[in-house]
Amino acid sequence: MLRTRLALVVGIAALVALVLATPALLGILTDWWWFREIGFQVVFTRQLTAEGWIFLLGFVVTAGVLYGNLRIAQRGVVLNPLMVTVGGPAVPQLDLTRALRRVSGPATLVAGLLAGFAAMPLWQTFLQAANRTWFGSVDPVFGRDIGFYVFTLPAISAVLGFLNGIAVVTLIVLVVVYFLRTDIVVHPPRSVRIERSAGLHIAAVLAVLFLITAARLWVVDSANLLYSTTGPLVGASYTDLNATLPAIRFSAIVAVLAAVLVLVGAARDRLPRYALYGVGGYFVVALLGRGLFPTVMQKFVVAPTELTRETPYLLNHIQATRKAWGLDSVEVRELTGETPLTLADLRANTPTLDNVRLWERDPLLQTFGQLQEIRTYYDFVSVDDDRYWIDGKYRQVLLSPRELNPASLPTRTFINEHLTFTHGMGLTLGPVNQVTPEGLPVLFVKDLPPVSSVSLKVTRPQIYYGEMTGDYVFTGTRQREFDYPSGEENVYAAYAGSGGVAVSNIWRRLVFAARFGSSNILFSQDVQGTSRILYNREITDRAQRAMPFLTFDHDPYMVIAADGKLKWILDGYTSTDRYPYAQRLADGTSYMRNSVKVVIDAYDGSVKAYVATPGDPLIQTWASIFPGIFLPLDSMPADLRAHLRYPDQIYRVQTALYATYHMDATVDFYHREDQWQIPAVERATGAVPFLRHIIMKLPGEAREEYVYMVPFTPRGKDNLAAWMVARNDGAQYGRLRVYRLSRQTLVFGPTQIENRINQNTEISRQVSLWDQRGSQVLWGDLLVIPIGTSLLYVQPLYLRAQGGKIPELKRVVVAYQNEVSMAETLDGALAQLFGGETGSRETVPVAAAGGGSAPAADAQTRALIAEARQHYDAAMQAQRTGDWATYGAEIRQLGELLSRIGAGRR
């Protein structure tokens, strides 16, 4: 009867386990099909195999240790079993000892399963330890290679922690079992009697626990001092090495002695007393040696002379931080002073002025949304900076993919969301500095299907994989796929790519229906054997699933390849929180490299990963774990490699750290006497650090290049101290360079320039006038434009009509040193400041922009207009001072110029 009930219980449990495991098994199967689709099967199999072995090892060790100890504890006959009444007088009493013996097997199996599942997430830790790559540099305290701390130490710590947990659980279980068997008897108030064999068993487990503790102290806790924050910064400080480290090692020795003590106590039948001595002695040493002693030393020995005692450890911290974050390779150039900027300098830097970014991402995204979404179900998610050779000129552009937003479909049904509306269409692309007569951006690529007015061509505009493609879709069904609207009609197309997984048969349809929770997949008559299902289509999620050991930048960007196909580029990071002495981020990260560039085809979803930093030990380790998934960067097509850019996330971290860690002298660093800060731009959502992509000619370089630029100001000050660029073009890609300004020369910083602009009476008057008319004035980002060794500031101004949604570029403000000017064009504002035509080929008047707008005025007419403006300003100044003679002369000259301008236009 009992066996029948037991078999029934086991059968029901197995059925329940199968039901609960079915979704996970289906997920594993569909994941396998997906990994095979993108060619990353090795990632799936290695991860699954590693997780399986770790689970099995955790299960066997845990269940084996617990079951073996329980078998030993429950051997023999209990003379006085503990009986419990669970019912009325007619019900026999329950023998707890016998009941415990019956549940021991199932209980240890459950414990083993839980331990195995808990250990599975450690698969990356153990694979890295088994395939580690040395860094080639050692820590300054123990002399071990950095790879030991990054790869080996976490695995050792995990193993010792796991064994420690098993030992603690085993000890608790043994005490309970022996107590229920009456092998442990408590005699109040202070007497405890333990049967000899039970005492030896408990003492053995307790001794093992002490030995594990000693190993953790000697190996793990000692090494973890390199991440200490006891001193002024991260890393082992004077107190750590002269107080805490000796105390840790002494505690480890005490733990070993405590293990010996409990074994001796058990052998002498005095385990309770000896165990109390061992445990109590260990905790006293830990409290005094690792708690009180370091605190006293820090307060009374180190704090009064902190700089003197901490100097070598500060140097360790500075050097480790600079190396861990790639700051040790920053090139530093000194600028002796700001050379006066002339009209000739501007003309010599015409390509830089041709690419001054007058359109900002937020206003442009709003404009794209109003002018180019065309249908409600299209969305522009973000605007990206890039550069292209267009019609023989190096041009900075802003672009945004036009993606399909299923949430905005007029009717959200299974057919519409998953069979018909399957993809986005093309992109919108325009130069950063041109506008139409209405103040709207000039577009080089626009409309549906995408039409290009320049040398860029889009041959495959469909976007099946993007930033909004979170849900699955089917291709090759009996329903036609919507491609794009054409007037009152719709154009349809059939998917011809290799992306997705073939549906093939009814069994796969059943699996996918269960995976995605939709019976329509199983019963729809439109899905056929030749159909394909495309899933995991959101590009960041797609890359993360393919390479779960990387993290990815928040800003993927689209590129038009030479053949007109659309590609996504994502920046992948390797990182760790185990780099000794290095400064950490809020999430603990102390080392990061942009080691991987991932290219995803927007049409077929193919994933290719290129190693951008081959010297990174972390990516070398992952490449050995997953052979074949990484390609050398040289194998990336040249047309895509030309669009690589230094990633935003790591650059923000590096610039923020460099503001402090450019000081490599410990005294300067300790006092922070030359600490910098990144000026912030106020936004509605808060302050945003000042970082800009620009095309410019760096001082000392022969040609313009695409850089990511950030200025620095002294901490608590507004004047400029230095500026840094991340270079993006050709062989210079990835190099960081800092230009330091002379401390003897005052160079206005962004905040000071913004204040000067706000205080300019003419600008304030014009802004107030627009406000009174009900228009909303939107200031664009202030741009810092290095011209030679001088700095030019440019800020666009937009107007948005009351209740309107389309910002229009109306003015451009230019500031240089103490002078500020505002005009309808950049060229006009420069002419006001420098008194002539700059020679800019692409910066055209608002009322005469390129790309199908009115023709630009010729250079002679614009020069006359600039000269007339100068005479007008001089006349107004003379009027304010009461110099009527000068006023009359300037007005006469102004009139002559206006006559010449009028004659020239007739």
Distance CA 858, CA 845 (A): 11
Contact 251, 289 (CB under 8 A): yes
Mean pLDDT, residues 639-645 taken together: 95
Average pLDDT over the chain reads 87
Q: Is 855 a residue whose pLDDT tops 70?
A: no
Cis-peptide into 647, omega within 30 deg: no
pLDDT at residue 906 in the model: 47
Q: Is 674 a residue whose pLDDT tops 60?
A: yes
Mean pLDDT, residues 121-133 taken together: 96
Work out the burial of residue 26: count CB atoms within 10 Å of its CB; fewer than 13 is exposed, 13-18 middle, 19 or more buried: middle
Mean pLDDT, residues 749-756 taken together: 87
Mean pLDDT, residues 630-649 taken together: 95
Q: Tally helices (H) and strands (E) across the chain.
A: 29, 36
Distance CA 611, CA 633 (A): 6
pLDDT at residue 37 in the model: 95
Mean pLDDT, residues 753-762 taken together: 88
pLDDT at residue 366 in the model: 86
> Which carries the bigger pLDDT value, residue 693 or residue 99?
693
Distance CA 540, CA 542 (A): 5
pLDDT at residue 844 in the model: 42
pLDDT at residue 287 in the model: 94
pLDDT at residue 899 in the model: 72
pLDDT at residue 419 in the model: 94
Write down the residue that tokens 């292209």 correspond to: 388
Mean pLDDT, residues 642-647 taken together: 95
Phi/psi of residue 384, nearest 5 degrees: -115, 145
575 to 126, 325, 486, 635, 649: CA distances (angstroms): 16, 10, 48, 24, 13
Mean pLDDT, residues 145-152 taken together: 97
pLDDT at residue 877 in the model: 64
Distance CA 509, CA 521 (A): 6
pLDDT at residue 76 in the model: 60
Q: Is 87 a residue whose pLDDT tops 70?
A: no
pLDDT at residue 92 in the model: 57
Confidence label for 861 from pLDDT (cuts 50, 70 and 90): low
pLDDT at residue 56 in the model: 96
Enter the tokens of residue 84. 């419990």
Contacts of 25 (CB under 8 A, 6+ apart): none
DSSP states of 739-767 = EEEPTTS----HHHHHHHHHH-HHHHHHH
Enter the tokens of residue 640. 């895509």
Work out the burial of residue 541: count CB atoms within 10 Å of its CB; fewer than 13 is exposed, 13-18 middle, 19 or more buried: middle
pLDDT at residue 904 in the model: 55
pLDDT at residue 848 in the model: 35
H helices present in 327-393, as ranges:
343-348, 350-354, 361-371
For 807-823, write each residue's pLDDT tens digit.
888 899 999 888 899 99
pLDDT at residue 83 in the model: 60
Mean pLDDT, residues 623-627 taken together: 97
Q: Is 475 a residue whose pLDDT tops 80?
A: yes
Residue 701: how many other CB atoms lie within 10 Å: 12
pLDDT at residue 881 in the model: 65
**pTM of full prediction above 0.95:** no
Enter the tokens of residue 205. 């487990």
> Which carries the bigger pLDDT value, residue 212 or residue 357?
212
pLDDT at residue 852 in the model: 35
Q: Which long-range CB contacts under 8 A does 380-384 form with residues at least 24 apart? A: 380/428, 381/466, 381/467, 381/468, 382/467, 382/555, 384/555, 384/557, 384/558
* Lowest mean pLDDT across 12-16, 109-113, 647-651, 792-796: 12-16
pLDDT at residue 818 in the model: 84
| Residues 63, 127, 556: CA angle, nearest 5 degrees | 125
Amino acid letter, 736: L
CA 410 to chain centre: 35
Q: Is 619 a residue whose pLDDT tops 90?
A: yes
Confidence label for 185 from pLDDT (cuts 50, 70 and 90): confident
Mean pLDDT, residues 567-583 taken together: 97
3-class DSSP state of 309: helix
> Which carries the bigger pLDDT value, residue 6 or residue 337?
337
Closest of 595, 598, 629 to residue 614, by C-alpha: 595
Q: Is 849 a residue whose pLDDT tops 70?
A: no
Residue 646: how many other CB atoms lie within 10 Å: 21
For 26-69, write each residue's pLDDT tens digit.
889 999 999 999 999 999 999 999 999 999 999 999 999 999 99
Please provide the size of the chain in residues. 906
For 305-317, write each residue's pLDDT tens digit.
999 999 999 999 9
Q: Is 658 a residue whose pLDDT tops 90?
A: yes
- H or E, element range at 560: strand 557-560
Instruction: Tell me the helix, strand and coil percentages in the chain, rounded to 5.
Output: 45, 20, 30
Distance CA 296, CA 302 (A): 9
Distance CA 893, CA 871 (A): 7
> Which carries the bigger pLDDT value, residue 443 or residue 769?
443
Mean pLDDT, residues 388-403 taken together: 93
The separation between the first and the last C-alpha atoms of the chain, rounded to the nearest angstrom, is 114
DSSP states of 421-449 = ---EE-EEEEESS-B-TTSPBP-SEETTT
* Lowest mean pLDDT across 148-157, 189-198, 318-327, 826-835: 189-198
pLDDT at residue 591 in the model: 97
Mean pLDDT, residues 877-885 taken together: 64
